[in-house]
Amino acid sequence: MAAELLPIRWVDIPRGSVERGTPAEEIDWVVARHCDLKLPRHFFAKEAPREMVAVDPFRISLTPVTNVIWQLFSERTGRAFALSAPADHPVSDRSWDEAVDFCAWASEVTGLPIRLPAEFEWERAARGDDAREYPWGNAFDARRANLAELGIGTTIQAGALPAGASPFGVLDMAGNVDEWTSTVYAPYPGAPPEVPQVEGWASNPHVTRGGGFRHHRDLARCARRHALYPPAAGAGVRLVTAVTP
């Protein structure tokens, strides 16, 4: 019954480790590769230093939450929600508080401990067992992610670009909608001194990952991290839960 009401497809992420972030000595190289975007160096320096992080097993949703599933949540909790995009597109522009409330509702409906991914879990699901630059590999390919470079200019069906899958087969880890994590932004331990302690300009301090259709290729990188960029009112929602025996 719960599966019928909330048809979430899960992908198992095994116990392992993630090469989180970017080595400090590679930041200038990364900046140079994105010089056409005219982004501040500290946007990329936030990824340093690289650290091997152990990650317990977990399950992550194959795609972000879609409009049709969010509409169920809205109807059953009495929340207003205008379906302004096709039902099979990922929901977007949801606040962090709304995303947390959705997880609580989904947990109640399914009996599973559903929550937002921690930042390191998100990167593990996107990057796999190596230090690849993008979920699909090390070379950017505009055809694999719904970003500004693809030129569509709006969301598309969740999971419509399977060539952009991560090593574990997780879809839309780059592009379509930016995704909330449960992690409040802070510099990594040992970060370069130029990295801000807080992102005071952000509209919410929680880290988002993956980038959306309005964003450029820098946000498709597995290591790229940021708090919510204004003028965005919110982000998309990716779910995680525990691995069941």
CA distances in angstroms from 219 to 15, 16, 213, listed in the order given: 26, 24, 10
Summarize pLDDT for 145-190 with one digit per residue, the tens.
999 999 999 999 999 999 999 999 999 999 999 999 999 999 999 9
SS3 195: coil
pLDDT tens for the chain, 245 residues: list them.
355 668 899 999 999 999 999 999 999 999 999 999 999 999 999 999 999 999 999 999 999 999 999 999 999 998 888 777 899 999 999 999 999 999 999 999 999 999 999 999 999 999 999 999 999 999 999 999 999 999 999 999 999 999 999 999 999 999 999 999 999 999 999 999 999 999 888 889 999 999 999 999 999 999 999 888 777 778 999 999 999 76
pTM reported for the whole predicted model: 0.95
Residue ranges per domain, the chain? Answer: 10-241
What pLDDT shows up at residue 1?
Answer: 39
Domain 10-241: CATH superfamily, name plus number? paralog of FGE (formylglycine-generating enzyme) (3.90.1580.10)
What pLDDT shows up at residue 245?
Answer: 67
Helical residues (DSSP H) of the chain, grouped into ranges: 2-5, 27-33, 41-45, 67-77, 96-110, 119-127
In terms of Cβ atoms closer than 10 Å to its own Cβ (0-12, 13-18, 19+), residue 146 is buried
